[in-house]
Amino acid sequence: MRIVAANWKMNHLRADATAFMETLKAGWKPVEGVVAAVAPPFPLLPLLQGLAQGTPLRVYAQNAHAEAKGAFTGEVSMAMVQDAGACGVILGHSERRQYNGETEATLLPKLKAAAAQGLAPMLCVGETLAQRDAGETLAVLKAQLAILAGTGFPGLAIAYEPVWAIGTGRVATVAQIAEVHAFIRGELKALLGDQGAATPILYGGSVTPDNFAEILRVPDVAGGLVGGASLDPAKFLRLLELAAG
């Protein structure tokens, strides 16, 4: 199975989402084994879910809180994003680690809350440039993945996003992606057994229609988590076509 996931981040209004879905529906020929997902900002979840009716598009939230309810001003719960139309949730994106203080300590309760709510988690991992330059890449990834120990998370996907490749136009090399994805696969097998052997591992970081085919040929790459290029429905469609082979 391949997954092409659009992370819109803090982009798009209702009109943009509507136009995106019109273009997508006009050109998309869904094929077996290729999953398309879009993670819009929270306010667009219900609209997108409605627009996606009759299509296999999966709607994800970009984040949600670990607690079920309470005095957490500005937060939304797993149940809320599900109620608003999400079937899954991105967790641990590097921008949330950088700007919102997400750590393994905050992410483990979120993973458990997502699973309890029946939301498929997409856990993002990846090293900074300083960590790569210091030779710490695999150790960083090992620590980020360790929160998966001993618990199965239905619908789990991993997104490997080297922080230095996000939004920079500097895509990781095929050799770098191959090394890290093989390492992640080994860790997942050790942590989760059979589920770890089958968990999709996506690559993210300056994915475009020009480089996606090459990235998809790397062993253990099961698709992409795409930021900038996913805002343009024509480019997103092209990525889906490339994933379909």
Q: Shortest gap between Cβ of 102 and ligand G3H (angstroms)? A: 14
Does 121 participate in binding ligand G3H (rule CB under 6 A)? no
Question: Quick one: 200 or 228, whose CB is closer to ligand G3H?
Answer: 228
Question: Quick one: 126 or 196, whose CB is closer to ligand G3H?
Answer: 126
Residue choice 92, 121, 162, 204 for contact with ligand G3H (CB under 6 A): 204
Select which of 95, 161, 187, 241 is catalytic.
Answer: 161
| Interface positions, 1-20, toward ligand G3H (CB under 6 A) | 7
| CB of 163 closer than 8 Å to CB of 132 | no
DSSP strand pairing (58-61 vs 88-91): parallel
Mark whether 161 is an active-site residue. Answer: yes
Residue choice 48, 119, 141, 225 for contact with ligand G3H (CB under 6 A): 225
Tokens (6 digits) for 36: 């398309």
Q: Shortest gap between Cβ of 6 and ligand G3H (angstroms)? A: 8
Question: Quick one: 196 or 227, whose CB is closer to ligand G3H?
Answer: 227
Residues 6+ apart with CB under 8 A from 83: none
Mark whether 65 is an active-site residue. Answer: no
* Secondary structure element (H or E) that encloses residue 159, with its range: strand 157-160
Q: What is the 3-state secondary structure (H, E, C) of 88-144?
A: EEEECCHHHHHHHCCCHHHHHHHHHHHHHHCCEEEEEECCCHHHHHCCCHHHHHHHH
Residues 6+ apart with CB under 8 A from 25: 55
What's the CA gap between 217 and 214, in Å, rounded?
5
Encoded amino acid at 139, one letter: A
Residue choice 228, 237, 242, 243 for contact with ligand G3H (CB under 6 A): 228
Residue choice 162, 196, 205, 233 for contact with ligand G3H (CB under 6 A): 205
Does 63 participate in binding ligand G3H (rule CB under 6 A)? no
| CB of 4 closer than 8 Å to CB of 236 | yes
Residue count at the site for ligand G3H (CB under 6 A)? Answer: 14
Q: Is 8 annotated as a binding residue?
A: yes
Chain residues that interact with ligand G3H, rule: CB under 6 A: 7, 93, 161, 166-167, 204-207, 225-229
What amino acid positions are annotated as catalytic residues? 93, 161
Q: Residues comprising the binding site for substrate?
A: 7-9, 167, 206, 227-228
